[in-house]
């Protein structure tokens, strides 16, 4: 059952056209989303509210699609069963498939409550991607599903409804007891109705764990100590073929065993539960003795397709994996590299230039984890994913993103430059793709890739440490960096 695209969801698009999509795309199937190929490029904006659930008031079973009316501190709210299932369980295709099987969540991983912390262990044969336990938010969600009896019972209602109502349209999902939960929701109000309709659940602010507070350790057989040094294996020409990191979605294609997982993340959703006090991932074994060498800049990339479903021996496509709850937990309290303060000072000085306005002050974040076997962004002096600095300036009505990788803190340092990006339409998506490409290419910027996503782009190399054989002072270095950036910005004004 559910081997490949056996279950579909009926979709009505905003132009009134109806179609069906595989249930494994459920994480992306929320009202108001606009798609382009495989990406959610925009979403309808509704009023957002933080709602504290007090009690379940009634269930509307008049159609095959259950609707739930909850009393909240914001009044009576109506939720669709599918939207609750999407945000409580359907975070990625693997969890969707688990919900639609008889032993569901129980077969996903083993729970050992005799340990402290409680251990959640995936079997050696697991196909659950290790990248899906890469953040605190998705590990917390996993722990809640496996530790809370009400969660497992609720997930089983998906399979039960499917089994009992085979061949019928409908979705009779039964959520767990949500009393005490706090949700951020997008709502639509009608003055003639006694309730507020929840269009989307945007975030689980606080889930309730119906057992004693717990510390949890998650073990996955494919977890590696990614920072471990490794030798480089290459093909005869010195490089392995580059992955197509932007495959075309084709719902008729079947994913192949061993093909790349194309994880399409929908940003913004997160899952929190204070009853799970800490939830860590075991460090795992040392990374293997080989890794893929980054491809050359001008190497031709074979275009590939991405398909939905379980990978098969005869399949040839990448596995398309739409997912939510994948945001890295980046906070402003991360340890800031020494160079960040200098970058911030330089940005502040550049922002004082005529015609330039500071839109976003300098901030520090981590690069995303690679989607291939590249390990370079893990090989840092601070034993954490490589960090980058970013700021946004406005020039003649256009926003320019200034970004810099902290390559000085790689174990094998690389030369540094500040990139100035005038991103094309949908700047957020384009910027995220540029960062992902950097991680996938062994901590290297691909200028061709960046140019495709920018209306204007210019790298600004850092000043040399010496001038005419004499070492620059810190102040001289900073002044030269500011001067070089200002010159680059002047060129932008002439070309824009």
Please state the three-class secondary structure of 328-390 as a single string: CCCCCCCCCCHHHHHHHHHHHHHCCCCCEEEEEEEEEEECCCCCCCCCHHHCECCCCCCEEEE
Provide the pLDDT confidence category of residue 151 given band limits of 50, 70 and 90: very high
Instruction: Find the farthest-apart pair of alpha carbons in the chain and give their distance in angstroms, rounded.
Output: 83
More confident residue, 299 or 267: 267
CA–CA distances in Å: residue 431 to residues 23, 83, 260, 376, 400: 29, 29, 22, 20, 11
The answer to whether the CB of 379 falls within 8 A of the CB of 227 is yes
Instruction: List, as one string, the DSSP characters of 464-482.
Output: PSEETTEEPPHHHHHHHHH
- Say whether pLDDT at 328 is over 90: no
Nearest partner of 366 among 397, 392, 399, 390, judged by Cα: 390
Per residue in 158-214, pLDDT tens?
Answer: 999 888 876 677 799 999 999 999 999 999 999 999 999 999 999 999 999 988 888
What interhelical angle do 149-164 and 81-88 show, nearest 10?
A: 130
- Say whether pLDDT at 376 is over 80: yes
- Say whether pLDDT at 63 is over 90: no
pLDDT on residue 242: 62
Provide the pLDDT confidence category of residue 292 given band limits of 50, 70 and 90: very low
* Nearest-angstrom CA–CA distance, 40 and 202: 15
Lowest mean pLDDT among 107-116, 170-179, 283-292, 466-475: 283-292
**β partners of residue 423:** 454
pLDDT on residue 259: 85
Q: Establish whether the linkage from the previous residue to 117 is cis, with ω within 30° of 0.
A: yes
- Say whether pLDDT at 237 is over 80: no
* Nearest-angstrom CA–CA distance, 487 and 31: 46
**In sequence order, which residues have a C-beta less than 8 Å from that of residue 235 and are 6 or more positions away?**
241
- Say whether pLDDT at 268 is over 80: yes
Exposure letters 171-186 (e unless 16+ CB within 10 A, then b) = bbbbbbbbeebbbbbb
Per residue in 444-473, pLDDT tens?
Answer: 999 999 999 999 999 999 888 888 888 888
- Say whether pLDDT at 486 is over 60: yes
pLDDT on residue 493: 57
- Say whether pLDDT at 52 is over 90: yes
Mean pLDDT throughout 32-53?
A: 90
For 408-453, list the strands marked E by DSSP: 417-423
The answer to whether the CB of 183 falls within 8 A of the CB of 175 is no
Mean pLDDT throughout 418-447?
A: 92
* Nearest-angstrom CA–CA distance, 124 and 4: 23
pLDDT on residue 167: 64
* Nearest-angstrom CA–CA distance, 431 and 416: 19
* Nearest-angstrom CA–CA distance, 462 and 446: 18
* Nearest-angstrom CA–CA distance, 78 and 84: 11
pLDDT on residue 47: 95
128 phi/psi in degrees, rounded to 5 = -70, 120
Tokens read off for 240: 């392995």
As a whole number, the mean pLDDT across the chain is 86
Mean pLDDT throughout 398-420?
A: 90
More confident residue, 392 or 302: 392
pLDDT on residue 241: 54
Residues of the chain with pLDDT > 90: what percent?
Answer: 52
The answer to whether the CB of 202 falls within 8 A of the CB of 187 is no
Residue located via tokens 């609750």: 84
Nearest partner of 416 among 478, 462, 474, judged by Cα: 462
**β partners of residue 419:** 403, 459
pLDDT on residue 383: 65
More confident residue, 184 or 429: 184
Over its C-alpha atoms, the chain yields an Rg (Å, rounded) of 25
* Nearest-angstrom CA–CA distance, 386 and 100: 38
Mean pLDDT throughout 43-58?
A: 95
**β partners of residue 250:** none
Residue located via tokens 């960046």: 450
Tokens read off for 163: 């089994």
For 211-265, list the strands marked E by DSSP: 214-219, 224-225, 231-233, 248-249, 261-265
pLDDT on residue 296: 46
Instruction: Provide the whole-model pTM.
Output: 0.71
* Nearest-angstrom CA–CA distance, 403 and 210: 44
pLDDT on residue 496: 46
pLDDT on residue 48: 94
pLDDT on residue 495: 47
* Nearest-angstrom CA–CA distance, 127 and 94: 8
pLDDT on residue 336: 64
- Say whether pLDDT at 284 is over 70: no
* Nearest-angstrom CA–CA distance, 58 and 353: 61
Per residue in 242-265, pLDDT tens?
Answer: 667 788 999 889 999 888 888 888
Provide the pLDDT confidence category of residue 224 given band limits of 50, 70 and 90: low
Provide the pLDDT confidence category of residue 88 given band limits of 50, 70 and 90: very high
The answer to whether the CB of 423 falls within 8 A of the CB of 453 is yes
- Say whether pLDDT at 9 is over 90: no
């Amino acid at each position: 059952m559910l081997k490949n695209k056996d279950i579909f969801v009926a979709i009505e698009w905003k132009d009134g056209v109806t179609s069906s999509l595989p249930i494994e795309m459920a994480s992306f199937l929320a009202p108001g989303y606009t798609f382009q190929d495989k990406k959610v490029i925009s979403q309808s904006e509704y009023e957002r509210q933080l709602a504290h659930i007090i009690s379940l008031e009634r269930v509307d079973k008049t159609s095959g699609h259950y609707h739930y009316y909850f009393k909240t501190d914001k009044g009576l709210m109506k939720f669709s069963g599918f939207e609750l299932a999407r945000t409580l369980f359907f975070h990625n295709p693997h969890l969707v498939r688990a919900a639609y099987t008889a032993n569901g969540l129980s077969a996903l991983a083993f729970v050992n409550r005799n340990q402290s912390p409680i251990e959640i262990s995936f079997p050696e044969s697991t196909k659950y991607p290790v990248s899906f336990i890469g953040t605190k938010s998705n590990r917390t969600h996993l722990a809640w599903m496996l530790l809370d009896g009400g969660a497992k019972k609720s997930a089983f209602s998906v399979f039960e409804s499917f089994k009992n109502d085979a061949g019928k349209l409908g979705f009779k999902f039964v959520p767990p007891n949500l009393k005490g939960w706090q949700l951020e929701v997008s709502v639509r109000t009608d003055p003639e109705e006694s309730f507020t309709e929840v269009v989307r659940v945007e975030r689980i602010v606080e889930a309730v764990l119906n057992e004693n507070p717990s510390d949890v350790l998650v073990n996955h057989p494919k977890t590696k100590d990614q920072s471990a040094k490794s030798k480089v294996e290459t093909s005869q020409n010195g490089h392995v073929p580059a992955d197509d990191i932007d495959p075309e979605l084709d719902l008729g294609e079947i994913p192949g065993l061993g093909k790349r997982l194309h994880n399409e993340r929908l940003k913004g959703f997160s899952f929190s539960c204070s009853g799970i006090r800490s939830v860590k991932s075991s460090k795992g074994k040392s990374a293997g003795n080989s890794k893929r060498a980054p491809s050359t800049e001008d190497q031709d990339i074979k275009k590939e397709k991405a398909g939905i479903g379980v990978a098969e021996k005869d399949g040839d496509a990448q596995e398309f994996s739409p997912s939510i709850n994948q945001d890295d937990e980046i906070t402003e309290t991360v340890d800031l590299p020494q160079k960040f303060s200098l970058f911030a000072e330089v940005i502040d000085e550049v922002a004082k230039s005529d015609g330039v306005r500071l839109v976003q002050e300098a901030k520090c974040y981590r690069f995303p984890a690679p989607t291939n076997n590249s390990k370079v962004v893990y090989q840092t002096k601070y034993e954490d994913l490589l960090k980058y600095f970013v700021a946004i300036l406005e020039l003649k009505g256009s926003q320019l993103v200034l970004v810099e990788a902290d390559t000085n803190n790689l174990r094998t340092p690389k030369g540094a430059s500040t990139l100035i990006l005038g991103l094309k339409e949908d700047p957020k998506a384009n910027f995220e793709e540029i960062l992902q490409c950097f991680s996938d290419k062994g901590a290297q910027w691909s200028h061709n890739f960046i140019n495709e996503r920018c209306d204007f782009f210019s790298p600004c190399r850092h000043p040399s440490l010496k001038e005419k054989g004499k070492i620059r002072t810190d102040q001289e270095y900073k002044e030269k960096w500011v001067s070089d950036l200002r010159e680059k910005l002047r060129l932008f004004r002439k070309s824009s």
